Structure 1
């Protein structure tokens, strides 16, 4: 089993344990909006790790409580991946290639609190490539878990980008400051 599969299995197991131990404490307020701005650390896994070292993101998120334990989320922002120098040869000439990857994610999701501060979440949407004059759009999906209180939200996720027959994956850590609207 590769590392990404192991991590995904661990995330699912932890999520199942949290669901099984759900508390009745109020986690979010029904019909209330929250806004948070996050800083993301992105660790590439799989094919993406061959062309990029790591990524950073800034992600504003709007959250709406549909009941006291579940919220709908809308997340956007910018992901920037720092490329690796890849040696190449063309017509006997040696040079290096650096493939930039900048994405604007636009995702909708659900955030379900299994205790008063612990949540599991899932998001899906489109990532618009904006480096080098633009590029293709990518289907994005993620699952993860985290801790949130009235001001701070710290979450870990496994995220996948798919386009044109290839798939890239990252493990993301998001630290965000939020407030009610």
Structure 2
């Protein structure tokens, strides 16, 4: 991670920790399931900016409250990255190509509420590439900070993709609507 990404992650974590000093009833309930569907905006960082402009994701999430302050999560969906034009020189000719990337993330994680609505989260899992022949997979890890109300969930995260000599990341913003099951 570059210095700007580390600074952003540290700032978001500090903000979440210092916003509230006491814990009240949380946006989750012990033993209850919630389902939410989110829309993600994904901004590439690092070397990823050379091949992708931005990405969009659609991510359903199942959440189970293990206490009034902690929840386990299971998230999947799809990320689509919009490619930049890449020009390759081959002898006397120049070829224009576009790199495609669609990823199906499968992640498990947790949310820990530090105030009634503010939480810190982390997820880990695998992202499966589903275009260009597919078959390639990457390890995913994403720390996050968010705000959750009865029906809405807003979060920011850094998501790292790594594997097969490949390591890149995105800054993601997720807006989700959820309800109890």
TM-score by length of 1: 0.95
1:153-174: CA deviation from partner (whole Å, max 9, x where unpaired): 0100011000112211000000
Post-superposition offset of 1:4: 1.5
Structure 1 contact 27–115 (Cα < 8 Å) conserved:
no
Q: Contact conserved, 1:118 with 1:148, CA < 8 A, in 2?
A: yes
**Contact preservation (8 Å) 1:136, 1:163:** no
Give 1:5 shift.
Answer: 2.0
Kept in 2, the 8 Å contact 1:33–1:62? The answer is yes
Q: CA offsets, 1:12-31, max 9 Å, x none?
A: 3224325x724232331100
Distance 1:129 1:47 in 2: 18
Q: Is the 8 A contact 2:142 2:158 kept in 1?
A: yes
TM-score (norm. length: structure 2): 0.95
Q: 5+ unaligned residues in a row in structure 2: which ranges?
A: none
Counterpart of 1:71? 71
- The equivalent residue for 2:8 is 7
What do the CA deviations read for 1:119-165 (whole angstroms, capped 9, x no partner)?
Answer: 11000000000111203110000011111111110100011000112
On the 8 A contact 1:138/1:161 being kept in 2, the answer is: yes
- Gaps of at least 5 residues in structure 1 are none
Q: Structure 1 residues 26-35 or 59-68, which shifts more?
A: 26-35
Give the total of aligned pairs.
180
Would you identify which runs of 4 or more consecutive aligned residues in structure 1 move more than 6 Å?
A: none
Alignment check: 8 A CA contact 1:80 1:103 kept: yes
Map 1:39-58 to 2 at 5 A.
39-58=39-58
Structure 1 residues 134, 35: CA separation in 2 closer, same or farther (over 3 Å shift)?
Answer: same
Coordinate RMSD, CA, aligned = 1.3
